[in-house]
Amino acid sequence: MAVVTGDSEPADFPHDPLLPWLLSIKKALEEWKSGNSISVEDLDKLLSACIATFKHNAKYHNDTRFLKIWFLYLEGREDFDDVYREMEENKICLDHSLRYEWYALFLEAKGKWQDAHKVYQIGISRKAEPLDRLKGAQTLFFDRMSERIRAFSPHEICSGDSIQFGKSSINPWSSSTMKDILKKMNPQITKYDGYHSSNKAYSGKVPISSLKNSSRNKIIEIGGKKYLIKGCAGQGGFAQVFKAYVDSNPDDVVALKIQKPAFPWEFHMYRQLDKRISGHHRSSFGFAHRMHLYSDCSILICDYLPQGTLQDVINSYVVMGKSMEEVLCMYYTIEMCYMLEALHGVGIIHGDFKPDNLLIRYAREELTEEGFADRSGPWNDQGLCLVDWGRGIDLLLFPENTEFIGDCRTSGFRCIEMQEKKPWTFQVDTYGLCVVVHMMLHNSYMEVEKKASFDGGYIYLPRSSFKRYWNVDLWKDLFTKLLNVSPGSDNKILLRDLRNSFQDYIYSTPQLLKKLKELLAKQRASLCTA
């Protein structure tokens, strides 16, 4: 779910009748996601009642929180076009670019590409703000459409223009590159423990195509086991993730990632993580148990973490009109630096580093002061878990010092090198880290600007200013170094030094460590739905 940016005026919460509705909807969503008693119909009724209550109130016509309620309601409706027409009639956020960007992405996911194009055009013609953001989203849309056209072009596939690994710059996500890699790696992938392949289409009693976001209590059979679907835990452009009970046992919960067309690459990345990441760090990157590959789809069976994502944590502050406490921002920054330090050190790039893909982990035992510095004891179980490895890059499959070209096409997370059409490597991840930190600090995506430096050159820095009461030196050092990585610099050492600077600051101030423990306990009590 998208973060609500700070476009609307801060609400005067004691006199804000929308706030209780937001809290009720947030609670209902948490109960629905956890498989509790609330049904999709109950959630729809709550959203519909909220819309009916405030749609004629001009105070909320430009409130992005109310816009989000409309889209939550719209996403579950067959008559979504009628709902959007009603938004138009009530002039809901007509001047906000988010309105057009969200609806265009929704239409694109449904395959209504021409309609999505029209939505972008309407928003731009109305000069919806921020206009540059909307135009950027439209450009990415055009890029995705071009990629789809090329992917289905027989000429592209047969012309012999596939990228050779001998080249110094490669698009790791292009259809030709992935085709070459999978062909090369197929003998190894088929030998992985838990890999099951069939030349036939999935033929279970319940068709995979019948599973929707609202699907519950359907049973699908995979590899001799039955999985009771308890709800949709996430959705992307080509895949859906469902929470499921193995053989209807509520104590044995897994995540089923169903992807069309079949895509075994993510399973390769998980098995490489098993091989390369030490036991101390391994729990930070998710586990895959099995992969079932069919001619029409693939089903990846993974651990299920019910505590939500870092995006959920950020949104919990946004909906209250607050910002995350600085010490909590520092803690999650330390965790992310740990992750990328471990990954990049063994030749792995995640490629899609964003808060939706960072699951929350909680310690089984109470946190203490001991163990924070070296992540031992309960602190080893506490933190984040990076998932969704479909865009992962295995550097060991490429010549040494290979640089990459290509665009991740994720709005808000395109590194500077992608924006300027320059080659990149680890920047795709470290830029993502900077965006996540910016979202925690400012409740908004990061915009970068080029500034003159003392040596007569220039550097990139976030456009948003730092608050005076923050530890400005630490944050400025992080953004300056990660947004301006020197060619040939050791990425692992850079991340380690940044991590140590934040960690030493917290550890040297006992009251900060105490406050951190209290905030994590409070977060768990308010957000954990397990």
Structural domain contains residue 156 = no
- When the pLDDT of each residue in the chain is averaged and rounded to a whole number, the result is 86
Q: What is the pLDDT of residues 214-242, one digit of tens each?
A: 677 889 999 889 999 998 888 776 788 99
Average pLDDT over residues 487-502: 90
Of 352, 356, 388, 407, the active-site residue reads 352
467 and 355 part of one domain: yes
110-114, 149-153, 402-406, 481-485: least confident range: 149-153
The last residue of one of the domains, among 303, 320, 337, is 303
Q: Is 352 a catalytic residue?
A: yes
Q: What is the torsion angle, in degrees rounded to the nearest 10, for the CA atoms of residue 456, residue 461, residue 463 and residue 466?
A: -110
What's the CATH code of the domain at 484?
1.10.510.10
CA distance 238 to 259: 6
Q: How many CB atoms lie within 10 A of CB 235?
A: 14
Residue 328 is predicted with a pLDDT of 97
CA nearest 204: which of 235, 226, 188, 186?
226
Higher pLDDT, 374 or 436: 436
Residue 132 is predicted with a pLDDT of 86
299 and 340 part of one domain: no
Average pLDDT over residues 391-398: 94
327 and 289 part of one domain: no
244 and 350 part of one domain: no
Residue 146 is predicted with a pLDDT of 62
382 and 479 part of one domain: yes
Share above pLDDT 70 across residues of the chain, in percent, rounded to a whole number: 91
CA distance 231 to 134: 32
260 and 329 part of one domain: no
Q: Which H helix or E strand runs over 86?
A: helix 80-89
Strands 288-293 and 195-197: parallel
The DSSP 8-state label assigned to residue 129 in this structure reads B
Structural domain contains residue 5 = no
492 and 384 part of one domain: yes
Q: What is the pLDDT of residues 97-134, one digit of tens each?
A: 999 999 999 888 877 877 888 888 888 888 899 988 89
Residue 207 is predicted with a pLDDT of 83
Structural domain contains residue 158 = no
Average pLDDT over residues 436-465: 91
Given a contact cutoff of 8 angstroms between Cβ atoms, the answer to whether 7 and 96 are in contact is yes
117 and 209 part of one domain: no
Structural domain contains residue 189 = no
Is the model's pLDDT at 3 over the cut of 60? Answer: no
Domain count, the chain: 3
Concatenate the DSSP letters of all residues of 368-417 into one string.
Answer: -STTTTTT-GGGGTSEEEE---TT-EEGGGS-TT-EE------TT---HH
216-225, 232-241, 288-297, 298-307: least confident range: 232-241
The conformational region for residue 187 under phi > 0 = left, psi -120 to 50 = alpha, else beta, is: alpha
Is the model's pLDDT at 32 over the cut of 80? Answer: no
CA distance 173 to 484: 24
| Domain boundaries, position 211 | 194-303
Structural domain contains residue 157 = no
Residue 368 is predicted with a pLDDT of 85
Sequence-ordered list of residues with C-beta below 8 angstroms from that of 153, at least 6 positions apart, any chain: none
What's the CATH code of the domain at 134?
1.25.40.430
Structural domain contains residue 443 = yes
490 and 364 part of one domain: yes
Q: What is the pLDDT of residues 156-188, one digit of tens each?
A: 333 333 334 445 578 999 888 988 899 888 889
128 and 268 part of one domain: no
Predicted confidence band at 393 (pLDDT cuts at 50, 70, 90)?
very high
Predicted confidence band at 2 (pLDDT cuts at 50, 70, 90)?
very low
Predicted confidence band at 356 (pLDDT cuts at 50, 70, 90)?
very high
Structural domain contains residue 181 = no
Average pLDDT over residues 70-85: 86
297 and 319 part of one domain: no
The Cα-based distances of 328 to 296, 417, 515 in angstroms read: 44, 29, 9
The last residue of one of the domains, among 284, 303, 322, is 303
Given a contact cutoff of 8 angstroms between Cβ atoms, the answer to whether 302 and 286 are in contact is yes
CA distance 55 to 451: 43
Question: Token pair of 331, please?
Answer: 């803690």
CA distance 393 to 118: 35
Structural domain contains residue 43 = yes
Residue 8 is predicted with a pLDDT of 40
The last residue of one of the domains, among 303, 330, 358, is 303
Q: Which H helix or E strand runs over 253?
A: strand 249-259
Residue 386 is predicted with a pLDDT of 97
243 and 281 part of one domain: yes
The pTM of the full predicted model, rounded to 2 decimals, is: 0.69
Given a contact cutoff of 8 angstroms between Cβ atoms, the answer to whether 61 and 90 are in contact is yes
